[in-house]
Structure 1
């Protein structure tokens, strides 16, 4: 089995080496970059399974790089930064980051978060099994195994790992009110706790992507409680 490849983008040489060493000792293939240009150069040479991206970088910030990365690919991104306030978490979510881990952090937490994000990635599977895991709601089709989404018109919709996990949580409990804490638990969102805006931003992003031909997404807000998928869900 090929080792998962992680690109560590961090300008602090000591921390970068420590992270790389910890990941290598736990079975990951690790590549390193000190800045945006080095990151792009590394990605041109080889694809990776996940990017650990520091926010405070020389030249282009991690925020800018995340925006550019999302315009080019859906490679999972975990922000790593000493800036751990709510604003940064929300910005990370808005730009499509899959997770956010504030410094300082321990090796066990870092490994757990990386593995959780990688588990969300699509995997090659038997097509007969894949057909059994397709669900439909309001004209939308979701392939749970392949982690793909088709609009009522048949267009493929790109969702980040966190967005797809959130959609899966709604699909699993249709027409039931789900509180923020429950959504965080079900979707494995780790970018904040139930008291901040992290889950609200994710829901807002998902709604935008599930809007179709002027029709709003079938996700309603239950004020003071949470959210609900209002459509019926059927399984193929």
Structure 2
């Protein structure tokens, strides 16, 4: 079954051109010119990756990303003419995984999406299934927090913890093995395959998002800790 991509772009020429290029690569592409109809598709049918413009009529791209995230963990690449750092960080904090500024070269977009699609699939896992081999116990207090890299799951006791693909990959890198300090540059290279725009602040944004999902108190993290001047370290508890 071909990989299914969603393209949300209100410029007809850009949208059709990009869709043709993606279809030539063998992808199944569903196109939308407005965020409302794109959101209905995401809520109704699974997609493997989304390519999203920010400047749209009606609901903007930021809002679309925030509203799509509860329904889908599929990677999201922003394609936008807005290149201000604030816009980039805001899109990433909303739930995007990557950001490409216009005008772009289609080969670059293809490289980015292939890198994202190569990452392991994140699943919820069966609540009553035993932890598979290779599971890492991140936190054993008040119901264990379990990371299973091979199964693509994170669970707090019997409850699934829903991470995006990028958040899951970031957690796996920190956990292999725990206790090491990894610099932002190292995480950028390993998680984003040197495919991002090069700003190491992307790592900080995704660390903040990850902490909101696995830390008891994200404001005072005990698992993913900052090592000032060096980077980040995962401390199992």
TM-score normalised by L of structure 1? 0.85
Q: Distance in 2 between matches of 1:45 and 1:161?
A: 20
Task: Give the Cα–Cα distance (whole angstroms) in 2 for the partners of residues 218 and 42 of structure 1.
Answer: 36
Equivalent-residue separation in structure 1 for 2:120 and 2:58 (angstroms): 30
Q: Shift in Å at residue 47 of structure 1? A: 2.9
Pairing partner for 2:202 from 198, 205, 214 = 198
Structure 2 partner of 1:186: 190
Q: Tell me by how many angstroms 1:228 deviates.
A: 1.1
In structure 2, the residue matched to 1:115 is: 114
Paired residue for 1:145? Answer: 150
Aligned pair 1:12/2:11, yes or no? yes
User: Are the aligned partners of 1:82 and 1:104 in contact in 2 as well (CA < 8 Å)?
Assistant: yes
SS across alignment from 2:70? helix
SS of 1:84 mapped into structure 2:
coil
CA distance in 2, matches of 1:45, 1:159: 20
- Structure 1 residue 50 corresponds to structure 2 residue 49: yes
Q: Residue 171 of structure 1 contacts residue 229 of structure 1 at CA under 8 Å; is this kept in 2?
A: yes
Shift in alpha-carbon separation, 1:43–1:222, aligned structure 2, 3 A: closer
1:166 partnered with 2:166: no
Q: String of CA shifts for 1:50-81, please: whole Å, max 9, x gaps.
A: 11110011111000111110133223211110
Distance in structure 1 (CA, Å) of the matches to 2:62 and 2:92: 11
- 1: distance between equivalents of 2:87 and 2:177? 30
Q: Does 1:26 align with 2:31?
A: no
3-state SS of paired residue (2:47): coil
Deviations 1:79-137 (A, max 9, x none): 1101123212211221111211111221221111111212225289xxxxx92342223
Look up the SS of the partner of 2:69 in the other structure. helix
User: More deviation in 51-60 or 102-111?
Assistant: 102-111
Tell me how far apart the structure 1 counterparts of residues 155 and 36 of structure 2 sit (CA, whole Å): 35
TM-score w.r.t. the length of structure 2 is: 0.85
8 Å Cα contact 2:132/2:151 also seen in 1: no
Residue 230 of structure 2 aligns with which residue?
225
Over the residues paired in the alignment, what is the CA RMSD in angstroms?
2.4
Aligned twin of 2:126: none
Unaligned runs of 5+ in 2: 124-130
> 8 Å contact 1:192–1:198 — kept in the other structure?
no
> Is the Cα contact below 8 Å between 1:86 and 1:192 reproduced in 2?
no
- The alignment of Structure 1 onto Structure 2 pairs a total of residues equal to 225
Structure 2 distance, partners of 1:44, 1:132, is 33
